[in-house]
A and B are shown apart, each in its own frame.
Chain A
Amino acid sequence: MIDPQYIRNFSIVAHIDHGKSTLADRLLEFTYTLSRGKMVEQFLDMMDLERERGVTIKAKAVRLLYDAEDGKRYVLNLIDTPGHVDFTYEVSRSLAACEGVLLVVDAVQGVEAQTIANALLATENGLEIIPVLNKIDLPSADPERVKREIEEGLGIDAREALLVSAKTGEGVKEVLETIVDKIPQPSGDLKSPLRALIFDSYYDPYRGVIVFVRMVDGVIKAGMQIRTMATSQLAEVEEVGIFRPKMELTSELSAGEVGYLITGIRDIAQTQVGDTITDARNPAETRLSGYREPKPMVFCGLYPVDGGEYENLREALVKLKLNDPSFIYEPETSHALGFGFRCGFLGLFHMEIVKERLEREYDLELVVTAPNVACRVVGKDGLSFFVRNPSDFPSPGRAQKIEEPYVSAVILTPPDFIGAVMELCQERRGEFKDMKYLSENRVEIHYHLPLGEILLDFFNQLKSRTRGYGSLDYEHIGYRESDLVKLDILIGGQPVDAFSCTVDRDKAYSRGRSLVDRLKGVIPRQLFEVPVQAAIGSKVIARETIKARRKDVLAKCYGGDVTRKRKLLERQKMGRKRMKQIGKVEIPQEAFLAVLRVDEKR
């Protein structure tokens, strides 16, 4: 049992690319948790996908042992958090397990939108915030300016901000000392009945569900009967332990500690992240707070290209859901695509990650329909209901009122791009709220925007219009009335429900035109002519024609190489198989993705 006096639980939060993972690596190295030789670069980013994308998806916890200047040995639990706007929810869960955070800010780039969002989350959770200026080894680092930005933008005292280069290791010791000094020891009662917060979980095919917990009260050890307080699942603890950074068995975990536990639970749905674990024989009275229901805001249809893969897709979704409780799914059928699922995600980026994991880890080929938001429709009868799928959208004149979700968006940019940012927001039906200078070269712009307008290519546009300097964060602010219409796409005269979307009435024409153009570009010629049309109700507003295929013939059967010929033909056949047959038309997967991009011709 460790005296809570010597425990510090903390997270590192930062805007993407500000050096969070590198700093984590240095802390591990400095405390001999991981030696440089053994170091897989950026150990905490475990999944391939994360490494490729350079972001972390799953929070992990690692125990560091640090012999401080005061001669005492401290247990520092580093809880890693994801670094993207879509994962605000996951960050909040991890923060609920901490008493303090290192707020890492790039000493060159300065405060960014996620820096602000993360600082706010930390403040809301009542955490001690230690500002850390990273990358001070770079010649263009400007710590004084960045300190001012922190003070003005975040209202945090940055006079004692730590100056660090995670790359060279400079200032890392000071970081550890400050953690010991400034971050409060965990509160909690060893003698109270067990309460442990599930802040993350992970499905391991061999071990079952591995649950990451922050111990709040009491003690947990193998053999105990436990109960999850929200979902009331009973289970026996098989193993408890910590990550250093490899899994290490311990005899118990006590109040204040962070670690993992394995129970007999293999079924995903039984360990709700955010739930509280208690002793089944001596239960606590109240659940821990700090958990909020993840609210998916972005929806899309996921369909297997091959209808026979439906069952596999379902199983994969069930498994993924364990590692990622923030997305939801329910079966749906599409006239065009057959059986599939309507899935809800925290955002577009989140959707991309889930899709890629399904394809990569579960070897599924998927068709993804254009993302949309859930609209609230008030019918003529006054009853309101939510529409998550554009195909369910009421036909013109059948609804009294339609509302769509709005977000309050904060965009940070150098002043040079204020015009470009405002133009983008106006194009996306934004409502200007406020603007303030954080420093002479950093402006915070505040807009209210329909979430649906952010879904389609907003972030890429922001990046390209601000030469990569702009950053974005947003939070949901509820529903507002809008003049939305359903835009249908007809291919070969047949409406393809998977392409339907809801758009602002004023934008329907330009959107219809750009969709039709795009589809013409990505749908290959067929054996016959195929019209592609955009329509509102029964009114066609844009049309293009894909000409019939005319030539598809192989050259010389060269020197009798039938094998090569056969391979070419097989490849061609496979290519066709990977397309989705809709009516008589074969539509490639790219077509469904092409709909995700909006042409902004300006």
Chain B
Amino acid sequence: MAKEAQKLRKERKKARLELSNGIVLEGFLIGADVSTSGEMVFNTGMLGYSEAMTDPSYLGQILTFSFCLIGNYGVPAYKDGDFFMSLGHESSSIKTQGIIVSDIFDGFYHHNSTISLEDWMKSQNVPGIAGIDTRFLVQTIRENGGLFGKIVPQGAKSPRIDRFDFLKNFSNAQYADPSKYNLMPSVSIKEVKHFGKAGKAVAVIDCGVKWNIIRMLLQKGCRVELLPWDSDFSKVQCDGWLISNGPGDPANTGGLVERIKKGVLPQNKPILGICLGHQLLALASGSATKRLNHGHRSHNQPVYSLPQKSAYMTSQNHRYAVDKNSIAKGWRLWFVNANDDSVEGLIHKSKPFMSVQFHPEASSGPNDTGWIMDNFISLL
């Protein structure tokens, strides 16, 4: 099932990672033999590569795993349409443009895996590079703020641009910045979907929702109505709202902020915003967002809850954040980041509105803030 690590290195085709700051790194091609481009990001989580790669928030990005050994346990079993059978998958396909790793394991021995990471990438036409000094690359990304890159296999074929809508913008671009485009059409469902039969109804605005959000709502006894990003929210009947995570710049979401402001807020029903959903809710309520240097992408972001006076380990994946100096009237700080003091959550002083920058649904990462979902559901 596994090729010898050293053979891997011997038989590999070479590939280059070309960065927008002029640095070129050479390594071995893994996954599909296609070229690609995207925004360079890194994640310092040590496990959960399949969750990360299928997380729609990574759309348009080339993901660098800082951890040195990726692929060890293969890719968890996937069953189309079955969230619970597909633990380890956060959407139906790989969303990253490509991945950069130090070392990849091309095999799988884990009881819950059915395919190796490489074969999975090949099957979905996603390329990557192994044999890169990922520590150096992480430092480069960290020091450069916005950095873009291209994966160029030896004798490269032209990039495939049919995987997602927004990629048509990438076809001629040297180094494309995905956050310049509205990414919602590429990640959101096209038609309303219903999950679960009984319980309180939660309307989930799909901005690229992670399946674990839906899993948790169902597990906790709710019904879910999953809405396309461009639905008319004012007509939706529900007990509460969840604005999901997703990729890109919250300000560049094609009128979504306005529709939340006009369609969701006036209903005065409980609202929970997660990640991008938190930023969208903040914008809709009159706060502002800003772009961080390189954002937070890891499983070990410490956040501190001001009302609870306690701290939690969280999973995060974002570059934009709510500006601390812009918090709208009626809202107060809920969570702050214990490392850099950035805004990690807001809560309305009188209405049942709340939002968090991190992922209470985890997957991958720590489950410490799952209680936020409970709190939200208790308000329905």
Bind each other: no
- Residues of B whose CB lies within 8 Å of any CB of A are none
- Residues of A whose CB lies within 8 Å of any CB of B are none
